Amino acid sequence: MALLQTRGLTARYGDFQALFGVDMELAEGETVAVIGANGAGKTTLMRSISGLLRQAPEMVHYDGRQIGAMAADDIMEAGIAMVPEGRKLFPSLSVEENLLMGCHRRKVKGPWSLDSVYALFPILKERRHAPGTALSGGQQQMVSIGRALMSNPRVLLCDEISLGLAPVVIRDVYAAFPQIRASGASVIVVEQDIGQAMKIADRVYCMMEGRVTLSGRPGDLSREAIHDAYFGANA
């Protein structure tokens, strides 16, 4: 049984349909990458899982429950944490205050605390009194990931954590994922940029125009198949 699963997930913004029956699953301990071009529906998928967009109950299953219509706060309390697109730090709060915001709704014992987040990202400890806005883009992304970890989630959703970061910084941020995985979390990383996400993923889903166009283990997917699934066969 999958820990998290979407079944025929559809999503609309008014008259515009953004997702057309997405079936996806995440097993306990697994890391899955969701790749696709801008506008493919990746963020809509993440927001539907995390409750920021509410759908029919049966469209999202988690830990034996139907959560498709649950509110975001309840989903976070149940153990699904999101690193949102654009990081979304609280600008008036320090690094440490931002991190502490991550566990104010869900207080469960687990591997993640201020100490272990600082061990994962030592630069954040040095800068713990700085306002979130005084940090570099990469450091802000580390705070956003650390904040999500502070709730000791069973599922961590990461939406385009590499967006706008230099390649060397992306590598620094992604260097945290082996430890995050070792902590027991199941992870979904969403990216437009295929490289890093494919390196850490057990399985990959490719999306285009609101549908899953390809899925499988990274080693089993040819470059051509990925290209066609990402851009369309005629691109």
Ligand X SMILES: Nc1ncnc2c1ncn2[C@@H]1O[C@H](COP(=O)(O)OP(=O)(O)O)[C@@H](O)[C@H]1O
Q: Which residues bind Mg ion (CB under 5 A)?
A: 42-43, 85
| Least Cβ distance, residue 17 to ligand X (angstroms) | 9
* 41, interface contact from Mg ion, ligand X, none, CB < 5-8 Å by kind: ligand X
Question: In angstroms, what is the minimal distance from the CB of 115 to ligand X?
Answer: 34
Helix axes 167-174, 137-149, angle to 10 degrees: 20
User: How many whole angstroms separate alpha carbon 118 and alpha carbon 213?
Assistant: 39
The one of ligand X, Mg ion, none whose footprint includes residue 40, by CB under 5 to 8 A per kind, is: ligand X
Q: Which does 223 bind (CB under 5 to 8 A by kind): Mg ion, ligand X, none?
A: none
Nearer to Mg ion among residue 43 and residue 98 (C-beta)? 43
Question: Where along the sequence are the contacts to ligand X (CB under 6 A)?
Answer: 13, 16, 18, 36, 38-44
For residue 226, the minimal CB distance to ligand X (Å) is: 16
β-pairing, 155-159 with 4-13? unpaired
* 2 three-class SS: coil
Cβ nearer to Mg ion, comparing 78 with 163: 163
Classify 143 as helix, strand or coil: helix
Q: Which tokens sit at 39?
A: 């506008």
3-state helix vs strand vs coil in the chain, percent to 5: 35, 25, 35
Closer CB to ligand X, 120 or 212, in the complex: 212
Per partner kind, with CB cut-offs from 5 to 8 A, the member of ligand X, Mg ion, none near residue 172 is: none
* Closest of 160, 147, 168 to residue 103, by C-alpha: 147
Residue nearest to Mg ion (CB): 43
